[in-house]
Amino acid sequence: MADKRIIAVVGATGSQGHGLCEAILNDPRGGCACRAITRDPGKEKARALAARGAEVVAADLDDVESLKKAFTGAYGAYCVTNFWEHLSAAKETQQAKNLAVAAKAAGVKHVIWSTLEDTRGLMSADDRRMPMLQGVYRVPHFDAKAEADKYFAALPVTFLIASFYWDNLYSFGLAPKKGADGVYSWAFPMADKRLAGIAAEDIGQVAYGIFKAGPAYVGRRVGAASQHLTIEEMGSHLSKALGVGPIRYDAVSPDAYRGFGFPGAQEMGNMMQVYRDFEKEINGARDTEVARALHPAMLTFDQFLAKHGDKIPR
């Protein structure tokens, strides 16, 4: 452990960070040691990481001093925030700032900040195609992360731009639903545009590739996506994998989607409208070849379905 480079992993018990912990722990000759950060070292996922050789350290994104301690002595830090826990863009930006302040204080040599784009830059301020949310944001969980990029800019940082997790099919209630006529259908406001997607576990694996590549990636923005698929294409792969017959795609308008009323419907509606209206910009920032070069075993959608399809509700 002493001769290895310590990678401090925020969100080690979550999708992105856990993927990175797995990558480090599965590569004992890779020269890196895993420091898993959690608020609760006693939780099962943290104890499982400890049992596999990770150093588990307690810290809280709201407590910058705890983050400084958790980053001390680390070569690398993987920084991620979780908007969905509190749904506040302002809080997310503050938590990200805390991470950047702590990484600077601890003298971390390579930071990866899991960010997204500022969608406000894609539209003029008076554009009326979608509502503003939380006062000043188009897609709060995108814009809030992008707003924090400036705090990382003076550090040796790689900006990692995450993509839609295919895991949302089971973890975010986005699977097709069976209608009274027995036909499965799903609704998205994506028209015929392509959605950049990835198995969540692969984001951390791409990050591991970046840490291993080192300084060549400092100062760069790297997209983490495996494939850009239309909803029709996703439906056809999904239909075969689940054995449920054809899946009907209701290509609803963004306004209709925002009106669905589930928690986060407005946020998701705005996000997917951005994917639809700015396909070139969003997918252009997520070059699948760049990510695959960093993580050659990255799952395709079919491989993701073969591995995780049993979790998708029928």
Ligand X SMILES: NC(=O)c1ccc[n+]([C@@H]2O[C@H](COP(=O)([O-])OP(=O)(O)OC[C@H]3O[C@@H](n4cnc5c(N)ncnc54)[C@H](OP(=O)(O)O)[C@@H]3O)[C@@H](O)[C@H]2O)c1
| Least distance from ligand X to the Cβ atom of residue 245, Å | 26
Cβ proximity to ligand X: between 170 and 214 the closer is: 170
| Least distance from ligand X to the Cβ atom of residue 17, Å | 6
Query: What are the residues facing 194 on neighbouring strands?
Result: 230
What are the DSSP calls for 25-54, one per residue? HT-TTSSEEEEEEES-TTSHHHHHHHHTTP
Query: What are the residues facing 164 on neighbouring strands?
Result: 197
Among residues 38, 98, 266, 283, which is the contact residue for ligand X, using CB under 6 A? 38
**Residues in region 64-103 near ligand X by CB under 6 A:** 80-85
Of 167, 290, 281, the closest CA to residue 220 belongs to 290
CA distance to 32, 173, 198, 281, per residue, from 22 (Å): 12, 26, 17, 31
Q: 283 with 194: CB under 8 angstroms?
A: yes
Cβ proximity to ligand X: between 37 and 155 the closer is: 37
| Least distance from ligand X to the Cβ atom of residue 83, Å | 4
| Least distance from ligand X to the Cβ atom of residue 233, Å | 18
What are the DSSP calls for 153-194, one per residue? TTSSEEEEE--EETTHHHHSS-S-EE-TTS-EEEEES-TT-E
| Least distance from ligand X to the Cβ atom of residue 180, Å | 30
Q: Which stretch binds ligand X (CB under 6 A): 15-23, 147-155, 173-181, 255-263?
A: 15-23
Size of the site for ligand X (CB under 6 A): 25
16 counts as binding ligand X under rule CB under 6 A: yes
Residue nearest ligand X (C-beta atom):
14
178 counts as binding ligand X under rule CB under 6 A: no
Among residues 21, 23, 57, 61, which is the contact residue for ligand X, using CB under 6 A? 61
310 counts as binding ligand X under rule CB under 6 A: no
Binding to ligand X by CB under 6 A, coded x per residue (else -) over 40-59, reads x--x----------------
For the chain, give me the number of helices (H) and strands (E)?
A: 15, 13
Q: 5 with 37: CB under 8 angstroms?
A: no
CA distance 101 to 65: 10
| Contact residues: ligand X, CB under 6 A | 11-17, 38-40, 43, 60-62, 80-85, 141, 162, 164-165, 168
